[in-house]
């Protein structure tokens, strides 16, 4: 069966990374192994059948969310196993080369840039912070605003329609104003990190109660300090009806996405 070399991540290490048998990669892939680029750089790879992971198969598979999800889980499970390496750069999902030699050559050609990326994330972890508007509190405020707006409307039917529109408009304003209020929150947390990325809401999230979705690159030794700062900010936001959630630590996906 014709196979390709699937690359999960690039690791800086003085010795070959140990790959436990329990580490699973993509569905249908052969065992994960370390492939040397040189004495200090290693790729974590698997041989994958091109009948399943060649370009036409991937193009067809991208239309199946369950298939993509199972591949993403397999990819991330390998990457997360090596977060304790001196430095790690996750590769994009479905990074596949014709063979080992092509994979090694690609890294060597781009060695200087990739080394800069590894220097940037070495000894650091990614932490995620999301802030949501309390929906119940938002709707209560929206209804109060709507009641004031519809005073003077004539007729029960007209009053009902005006009130409903006013509620929707007020709820939408609360989300917009809430997102603006997150600017100093993001800046405060960014001050606890070496780098930060703020992700804007997707088209599907634009009308939701998501106020802040951000990633922070934090030195491993400063993780406790970062979490405490996030906890203090979360307690403050809770008084205004906001819910702050912290996730991590993760491999630095958000800080190498444009580099690998």
Is 141 in the same domain as 44? no
Domain range for 38 is 3-122
Is 149 in the same domain as 228? yes
- Residue 78's contacts (CB-CB under 8 Å, 6 or more residues apart) are 8, 9, 23, 24, 25, 32, 44, 46
CB count, 10 Å around CB of 37? 19
53, 87, 122 - which closes a domain: 122
Is 150 in the same domain as 247? yes
- pTM exceeding 0.85: no
Is 130 in the same domain as 246? yes
89, 122, 155 - which closes a domain: 122
Residue numbers of the chain with a pLDDT score lower than 50: 146, 155-156, 158
Is 227 in the same domain as 182? yes
Give me the pLDDT at residue 211, please: 87
Give me the pLDDT at residue 84, please: 84
107, 122, 137 - which closes a domain: 122
Q: How many domains does the chain contain in total?
A: 2
Is 55 in the same domain as 78? yes
Q: Contact at 8 Å (CB) between 41 and 117?
A: no
Is 12 in the same domain as 79? yes
Is 116 in the same domain as 157? no
The residue behind tokens 């400063």 is 222
Residue 43 DSSP SS3:
strand
Query: Would you give the DSSP letter of residue 151?
Result: T
d(CA 13, CA 62): 34
Report the Cα–Cα distance between both ends of the chain, in Å, rounded: 29
Give me the pLDDT at residue 143, please: 53
> Of 259, 256, 260, 14, which is closest to residue 124 (Cα–Cα)?
256
Q: Contact at 8 Å (CB) between 209 and 132?
A: yes
| Inter-CA distances, 99 with 107, 114, 230, Å | 13, 20, 45
Residue 122 DSSP SS3:
coil
d(CA 132, CA 4): 43
Give me the pLDDT at residue 96, please: 96
Q: Contact at 8 Å (CB) between 18 and 68?
A: no
Give me the pLDDT at residue 159, please: 55
CB count, 10 Å around CB of 60? 10
Is 146 in the same domain as 185? yes
Give me the pLDDT at residue 86, please: 86
Is 175 in the same domain as 86? no
Is 115 in the same domain as 206? no
Strand order in the sheet with 210-219: 195-198, 210-219, 124-133, 242-250
d(CA 222, CA 182): 23
Is 106 in the same domain as 31? yes
């Amino acid at each position: 069966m014709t196979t390709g070399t699937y690359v999960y991540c690039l690791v800086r290490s003085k010795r070959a990374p140990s790959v436990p048998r329990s580490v699973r990669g993509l569905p249908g892939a052969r065992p994960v192994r370390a492939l040397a680029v040189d004495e200090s750089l290693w790729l974590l790879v698997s041989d994958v059948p091109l009948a399943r992971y060649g370009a036409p198969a991937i193009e067809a598979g991208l239309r199946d969310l369950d298939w993509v999800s199972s591949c993403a889980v397999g990819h991330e499970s390998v990457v997360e196993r090596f977060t304790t390496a001196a430095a790690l750069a996750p590769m994009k999902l479905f990074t596949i080369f014709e063979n080992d030699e092509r994979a090694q050559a690609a890294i060597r050609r781009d060695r200087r840039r990739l080394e800069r990326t590894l220097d940037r994330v070495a000894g650091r972890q990614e932490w995620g912070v999301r802030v949501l508007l309390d929906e119940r509190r938002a709707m209560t405020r929206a209804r109060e605003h709507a009641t004031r707006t519809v005073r003077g409307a004539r007729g029960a039917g007209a009053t009902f329609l005006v009130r409903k529109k006013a509620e929707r408009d007020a709820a939408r304003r609360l989300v917009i104003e809430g997102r603006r209020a997150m600017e100093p929150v993001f800046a405060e947390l960014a001050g606890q990190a070496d780098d930060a990325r703020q992700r804007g809401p997707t088209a599907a999230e634009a009308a939701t109660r998501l106020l802040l979705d951000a990633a922070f690159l934090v030195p491993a030794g400063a993780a406790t300090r970062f979490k405490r700062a996030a906890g203090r900010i979360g307690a403050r936001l809770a008084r205004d009806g906001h819910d702050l959630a912290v996730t991590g630590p993760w491999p630095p996906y958000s800080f190498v996405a444009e580099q690998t």
